[in-house]
Amino acid sequence: MITKELHTSNRILMGPGPSDAHPKVLQAMATPLIGHLDPEFVEIMDEVKEMVQQTFITKNNLTFVVSAPGSAGMETCLVNLIEPGDEVIIGVNGVFGGRMSEIAERCGAKVHRIEKQWGTVVTTADVKAALEKCPKPKLLALVHAETSTGALQPLQEISDLIHNAGGLLMVDAVTSYCGVELQVDEWNIDAIYTGTQKCLSAPPGLSPVSFSERAIKVLDERKTKVQSWFLDLTLVKNYWAGSKRAYHHTAPVSSIFALRESLRLVLEEGLENRWKRHQEVHQVLKTKLENLGFKYLVEEQYRLPNLNSVYLPEGNDEALIRRKLLDEYNIEVGGGLGDFAGKIWRIGIMGESCTLNHVNMLISALEDMKEFKS
């Protein structure tokens, strides 16, 4: 029988998420529960919706929070927009593009994958070539910030290409949201999802999403039922529609409290200040890492500031050093995925974990550790 109280070490989170949470966010999570249909909670959901619109920089009315992690936001976008037999184009330059493509296939779509080497991005030429093979796609899906590689995908020009072809632009913004510039309306993004545990610095488990008028039209014109009951927007949207509130599922009340506080903190700091902070702390981290002999995976122009993918200096056992960082210095960094497993580290400086203190703690720990060879 387990009788010991729950205990975790006081970690410093510098991996690909979750990131450190602000004490006020953790405190919000411990607020006494209220009912999910309580008028006070309805008001909190309305406030959350408004702040999600502000942080996405969108006026989209169909903006709400899926009661499940980022992957469920991904699935929400795809199951609602795709009907069996639809053709879609998906950029695959890392783990998450691969996951989108897997879900789209399960929705019965014919998927045209734009396969790119991991660590690079999808170019306008790639999209033009894909449109030649598939001139009338239902949608094009791209990952704005590919957390498996640290690459930042430019979106603006590609947005015009897909709209001219009559398709929708769907974007994974899980790691870019509240860390780098992201403009949903300005860039004409039709369907977007994100997560809470990356640059927003809230606990994992929720996924803010937003849909444009064009996307709603596609939804309204569906001939078949959405394959998923839980994620069917036609049902769940009423749950987020203020006065019309009707029971759909029981919202994760405590997580919504935490989300509300994290969004409030983002807006208090200001989105642009927050983007700037990530850029500035990244510059310091980059210089210090390069001084120790680390090398970046992604070309400078397409590098994410908040997720630093780096090769270790020659002669280091990455798994051993990563483990010692965790066990002896309480610092978590991420290992590589796929082809990069055992080769790179993914160092996150996201939200509350994006401070000079974090950079100094990591660099000092490496300098102190006798197994690390710079």
Ligand X SMILES: *Cc1c(COP(=O)(O)O)cnc(C)c1O
Q: Of the ranges 52-60, 110-118, 141-149, 231-239, which one interacts with ligand X (CB under 6 A)? A: 141-149
Whether 143 and 172 have beta carbons less than 8 Å apart is answered as: yes
Integer Cα distance of 323 and 191 in angstroms: 38
| DSSP code of residue 374 | -
SS3 category, 261? helix
**17 touches ligand X by CB under 6 A:** yes
- CA-based Rg of the chain, rounded to a whole angstrom? 21
**174 touches ligand X by CB under 6 A:** yes
Q: Of the ranges 142-150, 224-232, 267-275, 320-328, which one interacts with ligand X (CB under 6 A)? A: 142-150
The CB-of-135 to ligand X minimum distance in angstroms stands at 28
**305 touches ligand X by CB under 6 A:** no
**172 touches ligand X by CB under 6 A:** yes
SS3 category, 356? helix
- The answer on whether 323 is annotated among ligand-binding residues is no
**293 touches ligand X by CB under 6 A:** no
SS3 category, 75? helix
Integer Cα distance of 36 and 67 in angstroms: 12
Q: Which residues contact 273 (CB under 8 A, 6 or more apart)?
A: none
- Interface with ligand X in residues 184-203 (CB under 6 A): 195
**340 touches ligand X by CB under 6 A:** no
Closest to ligand X by CB, 109 vs 307, is 307
- List, in sequence order, every residue forming a beta bridge with 345; answer none if it has no partner: 310, 335
Q: How many CB atoms lie within 10 A of CB 220?
A: 8
Q: Of the ranges 109-117, 168-176, 183-191, 346-354, which one interacts with ligand X (CB under 6 A)? A: 168-176
**252 touches ligand X by CB under 6 A:** no
The CB-of-24 to ligand X minimum distance in angstroms stands at 22
One of 56, 64, 96, 211 touching ligand X (CB under 6 A): 96
Closest to ligand X by CB, 307 vs 312, is 307
Closest to ligand X by CB, 174 vs 258, is 174
Integer Cα distance of 91 and 100 in angstroms: 9
Query: What region, left, alpha or beta, does residue 229 occupy, with left being phi > 0 and alpha being psi -120 to 50 degrees?
Result: alpha
Token digits for 2?
A: 């387990």
Integer Cα distance of 80 and 152 in angstroms: 26
Binding mask 42-81 for ligand X (x = CB under 6 A): ---------------------------xxx--x-------
The CB-of-213 to ligand X minimum distance in angstroms stands at 25
Binding residues: 346
Interacting residues toward ligand X by CB under 6 A: 17, 69-71, 74, 96, 143, 145, 147, 172, 174-175, 195, 204
Binding residues for substrate: 346
